[in-house]
Structure 1
Amino acid sequence: MSTSTLAVARGATPGAGDAVPPARRVKSLSGLLPFLRPYRGRIALALLFLLLAAAATLVLPVALKSLIDDGLVGSGPGAQLMALRGHFLALFAVGAALGVFSAARFYMVSWIGERVTADLRNAVYAHVVRQSPEFFETTQTGEVLSRLTTDTTLVQTVVGSSLSLGLRNTVMGLGALGMLVVTNPWVMSQVLGILVLVVLPSLYVGRRVRRLSRASQDRVADTSAIAAEVLGAIPVVQSYTQEAREAQRFARATEAAFEVARRRTRVRSLLVAFMITATFGALLWGLYQGTQAVLAGRISAGHLGQTVVYVIILVGSIAVLSEVYGDLLRAAGATERLMELLAARSPVAEPAQPVPLPPSRGGAAVTLSHVTFHYPSRPQVAALADFTLDVRPGETVALVGPSGAGKSTVFQLLLRFYDAQQGTVAIDGVPVGAVALHELRRRIGIVPQDSVIFSADAMDNIRYGRPDASDDEVVAAARAAFAHDFITALPDGYRTFLGERGVRLSGGQRQRIAIARAMLKNPPLLLLDEATSALDAESERVVQAALEAAMADRTTIVIAHRLATVQRADRIVVMDGGRIVDSGTHAELVARGGLYARLAAMQFGRDG
């Protein structure tokens, strides 16, 4: 799907979501060459078997001519019987060779197809997971999944089957045509002239089939995007009783995909019918001329039989090639879509010469100096405007303020999910843009507001913070996050499967798993984004105590709307409209009577 088409499908301005400039869009299957190149030896072997199988097929008519002219004509009964045995043995040998070479060709091309598809799928997935969040602002997850599944399956069909069939039938068709030209030069010169008239309109119609094939894949991707979005929000869909509406929306997308596929199939069917009918008519004309030559005594019966078989091979090859041509057109569209993903370049790039971070002692120093930042999807609104913040090693700083004040944006810039348009963001005195992404993010632990739980057991979910951690270290982190008791109460303890997105846990339990994951990582900089928002009062107290213990000897930045969780911070920074409007301790801010005092009065008054 072209990115401009994606933008239109999502209701955006055409071109606004373009991830790949038009000049870089891949227009053919040549995008697969880098994935085929490592298997040159196997491809050469597959081509050898293909040629041998085609050669065996082309030898059959010659053997048949010999059988008719030498085995059935002109000899006595005894000599005929011996000659027939020899000819039939020769035919069997040719058939056996054809079977062996065809089987070898099938295995080799099938292996290549499976291997290339797996490599392509891995490459696309590995590339996509390295994209910055800006990429996912303009690209739906369901569309990416469609490209990883449907499109790669089409490529597999072509590389592992259709391409081989096309090459084999091309060789056999050209071989049969060559033999017909050699044995019947005058007649076949007429036939070739007719075939040229067949090919030219076929190429024109083929381009239309390719466009419709691409459009068909786009519509299928739309259905995948809808399904991924809705299935990921089933509780919301069902709580608002929108099941029927979502089913209708999916059905409309499916019908749109069917309609484009129907148009593609209709055009492709007309193309196949035209090619086969015109080719068959041209070759029948050649056969008619051949029968006249036999009657006139200019050629033998065996010669005519040989010609008939070559005509059958040629017509069959053209019929297969017309089908393969349609498959190639569909795969070309799928390849373009996959290459678009691979060509996408994240605006957050690794530095050419990374600067190492100095050793961390007692936490990390954080500096944001005169930072101005606009999200790519909201270029007119500054999320941060001339924002300056210094956090000392080991200090705990709380960011508070109304929604949209820019608190979470500070975290996004520290993790370098985005780059600021102006100003400097630095950790331990080194600008984050100069540090290798892996080293930068290795020093930062984050507990997000919406805890992410993977489809794995509790042990693996916590170990995600540090994959090389031992079981004892995982349990220690769970104890520190007050998650040990509820985990051991699960049916299989730490080996209990938590379900997709942690559906078997409560919100507070998911949050404690996320906190344990961050504690296990043990980073010098800890980012807490509403880390206790999903906990009840009792759980919040125990987890808050665990968090305070985890904050020791490290720098911590806390985002919290519940001001009770930040009162003991070393410093509270009040934000509004992407700027710092006040700073101080809880008592100082309340005494000054500004925005923080109003927020505190509303919240504590309400809580009381």
Structure 2
Amino acid sequence: MLNRFSSRQRQALRLGWRFIRPYRTQALLALLALIVTAAITLSMGQGIRLLVDQGFMTQSPHLLNQSIGLFLLLVLALAIGTFSRFYLVSWIGERCVADIRQQVFDHLVYLHPGFFESNRSSEIQSRLTADTTLLQSVIGSSLSLFLRNALMVLGGIVLLFVTNPKLTSIVVLALPLVLAPILIFGRRVRNLSRQSQDRVADVGSYVAETLGQIKTVQAYNHQSSDQQRFGATVEAAFEVARKRILQRAWLITLVIVLVLGAVGVMLWVGGMDVIAGRISGGELAAFVFYSLIVGSAFGTLSEVIGELQRAAGAGERIAELLAARSEIVAPADLQRSAPRVSGRVELQDIRFAYPSRPTPPAIDGLKLTVEPGETLALVGPSGAGKSTLFDLLLRFYDPQQGRILLDGQDISCLDPQDLRRHFALVAQNPALFFGTVEDNIRYGRADATAEQVEAAARSAHAHEFILQLPKGYQTHLGDAGLGLSGGQRQRLAIARALLVDAPILLLDEATSALDAQSEHLIQQALPTLMSGRTTLVIAHRLATVQHADRIAVIDQGRLVAIGTHRQLIAQSPLYARLAALQFNNVTEM
């Protein structure tokens, strides 16, 4: 356990160094300013000794003026050094955290979708925000405090020995007593800090999940249950935080008692030496100053170590995200597809099971060929594997057996981005993003002109309702298109797919959310939209696909029948049963 944990700690340290390294110059300047300010602070002890022995004790105004002048000069230098140190360290903290956030996001957007099935997006969001904020605080403040106070402790002890070895021995004897609780409690704080970060992430995840589905929550009057569950989550986070705070409080208390207790003993011994004339009052004043410096630095170190332990936990969580590797990557022997493929798709003995659900397979030995320009409908019961085929075509997953060919090329030999530019997807639940209507239509083709955006919207019969929005194409949409009807969101998604003008069109229940009038308009436009494109259509309503070139019937991941609507009515019992259920219901209505 300890070996594993120390390995994770080293990983977090390497992560921090990796992001600080590009700013070595600023870091060295900050370190220089830190050393200078620490040295000036320590030299003030000698200034106090001179002030007491040559200013006060001699009762000489001239020597007093010199001592005060030197003291004020040190104060000015300390102020300049502190400004430089604070600015540079804070700048490095903000810059490094901005780089961390950018790199983590850049890494996440290329991970395969399977990663997000086993890792909650809200948990990832917490790492990207809360954990990086903690790192910013540590890099931009706590780390500087740690180094500064460590220098103060070392320098203070050296000057204590120079000033009075006898009294210093009292302080040195107390050091092991101070270090012991730091090491013991520090380990406990480190473990609790990681647990605390995980519990805080749970709180954020629950909030995001509940508020993201607030209509469902309220529709089922689930608020009281969610309040109880959230309360339990919050209390769990509080309990871990309470334990961590308790350990840190004990650590700080012990350090204060031991260090200041040693200072008290030292003052008694030193006071007796002053009375006996063995040391001067200035030496004792300087020694007291250094003792307080060392004691307060130790107290600060004990606090900062707790922050560093929390940062180590946050660093581990960030490092885990950066260490995640996508299972879908460009192969070493990379091939390039044609600038525009004809759209021939061939599935050869495909077998696939989701990693989280290894049995039964979602696709089981499926063979299928789609010719260029053909419209193929995929029908079958829910869970038959239709949407999984789209996931495999877009290479969100790779099949465990078999091959998928695009114009004769194995798609596993293509760069995933090169492959996906040949497809346009309209999902069953269209994804819209925060931004304007125009931004959402242009999502897959950033260089499209306003005229091209409008033409795509017209083809998707979205232009009319867009013009009725407050600012037309410049109207800002809420998260996930909040404020639009399901049919309006679907038509925007269709317009987006049209603007991409890919040779292969994937329609996953693309008209399922449309009202009768909108569906009628889309059905009228579909022949024009599909012209010259290979189109695969997933549909549960057979009326929308009965005029497709061919219809493939999928059941339990297998291709059970393929043909035209009329052929399947006669040849496929499953299709005939589905058709009888749907068309009889329509007749009855």
TM-score range normalised by the length of the shorter chain: over 0.9
Q: What residue is the counterpart of 2:379 in the other structure?
A: 400
* SS of corresponding position for 1:464: helix
1:26, CA displacement in angstroms?
4.9
Greater shift in the superposed pair: 265-274 or 535-544? 535-544
Q: What residue is the counterpart of 2:562 in the other structure?
A: 583
| Aligned positions, number | 584
Task: Name which of 330, 348, 357 aligns with 1:350.
Answer: 330
Aligned ranges 1:106-125 → 2 under 5 Å: 106-125=86-105
Determine if contact 1:113/1:160 at 8 Å carries over to the other structure: yes
Determine if contact 2:263/2:292 at 8 Å carries over to the other structure: no
Is 1:184 aligned to residue 170 of structure 2? no
Determine if contact 1:181/1:188 at 8 Å carries over to the other structure: yes
Q: What residue is the counterpart of 2:54 in the other structure?
A: 70
Determine if contact 1:357/1:435 at 8 Å carries over to the other structure: yes
1:202, CA displacement in angstroms?
2.0
Determine if contact 1:367/1:390 at 8 Å carries over to the other structure: yes
Is 1:200 aligned to residue 180 of structure 2? yes
* SS of corresponding position for 1:416: coil
Q: What residue is the counterpart of 1:12 in the other structure?
A: none
In structure 1, how many angstroms separate the alpha carbons of the residues matched to 2:416 and 2:293? 59
Aligned ranges 1:271-310 → 2 under 5 Å: 271-310=251-290
Aligned ranges 1:79-118 → 2 under 5 Å: 80-118=60-98
Q: What residue is the counterpart of 1:227 in the other structure?
A: 207
Q: C-alpha offsets along residues 509-563 of structure 1, whole Å, 9 cap, x if unaligned? A: 0000000000000001110000000112221121122232121111111100011
* SS of corresponding position for 1:354: coil
Q: C-alpha offsets along residues 77-99 of structure 1, whole Å, 9 cap, x if unaligned? A: xxx11221111111001001111
Q: Which runs of 4+ in 1 moved over 3 A?
A: 21-30
In structure 1, how many angstroms separate the alpha carbons of the residues matched to 2:177 and 2:249? 19
Greater shift in the superposed pair: 514-523 or 83-92? 83-92
Q: What residue is the counterpart of 2:224 in the other structure?
A: 244
Determine if contact 1:481/1:547 at 8 Å carries over to the other structure: no
Q: What residue is the counterpart of 2:505 in the other structure?
A: 526
1:307, CA displacement in angstroms?
0.5
Aligned ranges 1:104-183 → 2 under 5 Å: 104-183=84-163
Gaps (5+ residues) in structure 2?
Answer: none
Task: Name which of 238, 243, 256 aligns with 1:258.
Answer: 238
In structure 1, how many angstroms separate the alpha carbons of the residues matched to 2:419 and 2:9? 34
Q: C-alpha offsets along residues 223-252 of structure 1, whole Å, 9 cap, x if unaligned? A: 111111111111111111111211221111
Q: 1:25 to 1:57 in 2, by over 3 A?
A: closer
Determine if contact 1:49/1:101 at 8 Å carries over to the other structure: yes
Determine if contact 2:101/2:128 at 8 Å carries over to the other structure: yes
Greater shift in the superposed pair: 347-356 or 519-528? 347-356
Q: What residue is the counterpart of 2:407 in the other structure?
A: 428
Code of the aligned partner of 1:178:
V
RMSD of equivalent CA atoms: 1.6
Q: 1:459 to 1:331 in 2, by over 3 A?
A: same
Determine if contact 2:445/2:499 at 8 Å carries over to the other structure: yes
- Given the two structures, how large is their TM-score scaled by the length of structure 2? 0.97
Is 1:556 aligned to residue 535 of structure 2? yes
Aligned ranges 1:466-481 → 2 under 5 Å: 466-481=445-460
Q: What residue is the counterpart of 1:17 in the other structure?
A: none
In structure 1, how many angstroms separate the alpha carbons of the residues matched to 2:281 and 2:7? 58
Q: 1:598 to 1:460 in 2, by over 3 A?
A: same
Q: C-alpha offsets along residues 444-500 of structure 1, whole Å, 9 cap, x if unaligned? A: 100000011111111111010201111111001000111000001111111111211
In structure 2, how many angstroms separate the alpha carbons of the residues matched to 1:421 and 1:32? 38
Q: 1:284 to 1:24 in 2, by over 3 A?
A: closer
Code of the aligned partner of 1:564:
A
Code of the aligned partner of 1:416:
R
1:71, CA displacement in angstroms?
1.9
How much identity, in percent, do the aligned residues show? 51
Determine if contact 1:46/1:109 at 8 Å carries over to the other structure: yes
Code of the aligned partner of 2:20:
L
Q: What residue is the counterpart of 1:52 in the other structure?
A: 36
Q: 1:143 to 1:593 in 2, by over 3 A?
A: closer
Greater shift in the superposed pair: 124-133 or 326-335? 124-133
